[in-house]
Amino acid sequence: MTLHRRQFIALLGSVAAIGVAGRGAYAAWFGDAPKSGPKSGKEFPLHMSEAEWKNKLSPQAYKVLRDHGTERAFTSPLNDEHRAGTFYCAGCENKLFSSEQKFDSGTGWPSFWAPADAGAVGTTVDASHGMSRTEVHCADCGGHLGHVFEDGPKPTGLRYCMNGVAMEFKPE
């Protein structure tokens, strides 16, 4: 069967729509309800109650950081942030990434080839949505930041694909 360009674009749109529908739709279909906070069950240095998190974070940041949501591609101003500076966790102000490691991946999310410091982020296996990916979380509060893929630039070959709403940028 030959897949024509128009059919291929329609297929990509369908896949993207399923991804954008997020964990709520997946939960409705497969019964995998999202859990608040880090999925790994690991204890993190910063502890807050869910009420405290909801009070501290915007609804969008809460959805991403605590419920493992994903913001829509190309919606974060941090995707187009090109000034020198540092990206911090929106939940706890942990230093996550430097602008020196940022690159334009063309995916619509802020992308980095390495964290600012080796211990700034942690990873867990994310087996949601019928696939296996490596989830990236803040090492201090456990907040969901995004995912890391092995299709990035040198020197690491990694692409830390982060949700902008999960971060704050402070220029130098």
Whether 161 is catalytic is yes
| Catalytic position from the list 92, 138, 141, 161 | 161
| Whole-angstrom distance, CA of residue 57 vs CA of residue 114 | 26
Length of the chain, please?
172
Q: From residue 50, how far is each of 54, 67, 69, 81, 166 by CA, in Å?
A: 6, 11, 16, 30, 16
Question: Can you say whether residue 23 is alpha, beta or left, with left for phi > 0 and alpha for psi between -120 and 50 degrees?
Answer: alpha
CB 160 within 8 A of CB 111: yes
CB 103 within 8 A of CB 156: no
Active site residues per annotation: 161
